[in-house]
A and B are shown apart, each in its own frame.
Chain A
Amino acid sequence: MTRAEQRFEQIEQYLRRQMSPEEAAAFEAEMAADADLAELVQQHRLERQGLELLVERDLLAQMQAWDRETALLQSVAPPRRTGASPLKVLFRAAAIAAVFVTAFFGWWLLRDSGSGSVPETTPVAEAPAKDKKKSPVIRKPAPAKPSAPKTAPYKETETEDGLAGQEQPRQAETPAPIEEIPETATAVDYAALAGEFYRERDFIPPKGSKGGGSASYNQALDNYRDGRLGNVITQLKPEMNQGADALLRRELLGHTYYKNGQFEAAFEEFRALAATRQQPYAQRAEWAMALTLLHQMPAKKALLDRVLAGILADPGHPFYSQAKALKNRGL
C-alpha cells in the first residue's frame, strides 16, 4: 500500500467515525498542525457528500418500488366485507338462482332445436375499443395452416430517431385469424402510469435554487414553475442552440412541452438532447423520452421498447431502476 493510499484510508476512517477517541484526537491534532492535511480532509468530506447522491438515487428508486408494491397489494386485496341485510342477501340469492334457471332453459331449448353440431366456442367479434387508454392487447397470430397466407415479416428499419426499429407487420391481403389476449385483467391507463413515474425534480432544478443557467434561462424557469408555459416556449425557442446553457434550455423546453401535453414536440427535444451524449443531460433525456412515449401508447410501443432497452442495457444508468420497474408493469 502506498503512502497516499494509507493516508486515504486514515482520512476515511476518521470521517466514518471508525477511529477510537484517542486516535481521533491524535488525528485532529495532526490536522491542526498541518494545513495540507486539513484541506485534504475537507476534500474527502466534500467528495463523500457527492457520493451520497449514489445512495440517494438508489433509495429514491426503492421508495418508488415500495409504493408500487403497496399499490399492488391494495389492488389485489379482497374487497372489504360489508354487513349486508338479510333482505339483500335473499334478493341476491334469488337473482343468482334466476340467472341459472334462465341459462339452463336456454341451453335446453338450443339443444332441442339445434340441427348440427354446435361449436364448443363461438367466435365473437370484439367491439372496437372506445377508450384509447384501455388495456393493450397482444395480437397473437393463430398457428398458420400450410395453405394460409403468411403474415408479412417484420421489417428492420432505420427510424428518424436513429434507432434501428421494427415496423408493424404489413397487413397480408387475407390476414390470418387472430385471437386477442388481454395482457392484464385491468385496463392500463398509460397517462396515469406516466404520471406515476414522472418526477419533475428528476429533471428540473428544485424550487428556490437558481437553476445554474443564464438570466434568461432562470427567467424561463420561473415562468415554468408558475405555469406560464406559453411564455417559456416563446422565450426559449428562438435561441435554443445559443449560449453555454443550451442543454439546460433544451431540457426545460422539452419538459415545458411535456407539461403542456405536446408530447411529440417534447420527444423531439429529448431526442436531440440524448443525441448529444453529454451527461447527465443525455441520460435524463432518455428517461424523459420513455415517459413521453408512454403518453403516446400504444401507438409508440415499438419505439418505447427500444428506448427502455437502451436504458436497461446500462445498469449504471441513473434511471435503470425506474426503467426496470416500468418494464415490469407489463410494457
Chain B
Amino acid sequence: MANTDWSDESLIAGIQSGGPAREDALKRLYQTPGLREAVIRYVLDNGGDRQDAQDIFQEALVLFDRNIREGRFEGKSALRTYFVAIAKWRWVTVRRQQGRYAELSPAHYDGEVDSPEAETIRSEYRELFQEALGQIGDRCRELLRLYQLDYSMEEIARTMQYGSADVAKKEAYRCRMRFRELLENHPEYAALLQRF
C-alpha cells in the first residue's frame, strides 16, 4: 500500500529502501505541486526554454534519487529546497558547458551533489558505458540494475527466479566481471580510469 504520509523522512526512507517504496516516493516527489513549476521558472529566468526546463526537472530527479540512495543528503535543508538546488546546479552546469556561465561554485551546494568534473566524465563517457551495457545481455542488465538499487540477494533471487541468494550473488559477480571486461577492452577506458 502506498504511503500517504510523505514527510521528508518518509520520502528518504522510501527511496533508500528501494523497490516499490522507492518508486512511490519518487513519483510523489515528481508530482509534488509547485516543484516542477519552481524549476521551470528558474530555467526560464536564466536563459533556458521550456524544453530545457522539463529536461532539467527530470535530470534533477535522477540526480536526487542517486544522492539520496548514496546517503549524500545531509539534512541541512528541506528536501524540496535540496531538490530545487540540484536542479539549479544542474542548469548552471549545462550553461557552463555551453560557455554561458563562469560563476559556478560547487561548494555552493555543500558538496552534496557530484563535482562538475565527475559530471563531465559521466556525460563524456556515457557512450562507452552504454556500449558495454548493451553487450552484457538482458538478464545481466536487469540483475545489475537491481544490485545497483541495493536490492538484497534474496530479493534479486526472488525477482529473477534464481534458485537461491547464493546463486544470485554468483551471477551478480559474473555479470559485473563481464561488464568490467567489456570496459577494459575499450581503448578509451584506460584514459577514463586515469582521469576519474
Contacts and interface: CB of A to CB of B under 8 A. Distances in A.
Given A201-B55, A314-B138, A55 B149 contact: yes
B111 to A, nearest CB: 16
B74 interface: no
Nearest to B93: A208
A244 B145 CA distance: 31
Chain A interface residue number, banded: 35 or more
B60 to A, nearest CB: 11
B135 A209 contact: no
Interface in A28-56: 42-43, 45-56
A42 B196 contact: yes
A53 to B, nearest CB: 5
Interface residues of B, number: 53
A210 B124 CA distance: 8
Interface stretch (B4-12, B37-45, B81-89, B126-134): B126-134
Interface stretch (A60-68, A259-267, A289-297): A60-68
A70 interface: yes
Q: Which residue among A43, A50, A62, A315 has the maximum number of chain B CB atoms within 10 Å of its CB?
A: A50
Interface in B159-196: 173, 176, 179-180, 183, 192-193, 196
Interface in B119-162: 121-135, 137-139, 141-142, 144-145, 147-150
Contacts, number: 109
A5 B173 contact: yes
Contact of B183 (A50, A56, A62, A315): A50
B109 interface: no
24 contacts: A8-B173, A43-B180, A46-B192, A46-B193, A47-B176, A49-B122, A49-B196, A50-B129, A50-B132, A51-B144, A51-B148, A52-B66, A53-B126, A55-B65, A59-B61, A62-B23, A62-B27, A63-B30, A66-B31, A212-B127, A279-B130, A279-B135, A280-B130, A280-B134
Interface of A: 5, 8, 16-17, 42-43, 45-56, 58-60, 62-63, 66, 70, 201, 206-210, 212, 279-280, 283, 314-316, 318
Given A8-B176, A59-B26, A208-B97, 17 more contacts: A43-B180, A46-B192, A49-B118, A51-B145, A53-B130, A54-B144, A55-B65, A55-B149, A66-B27, A66-B30, A66-B31, A206-B94, A208-B96, A279-B134, A280-B131, A280-B134, A318-B130
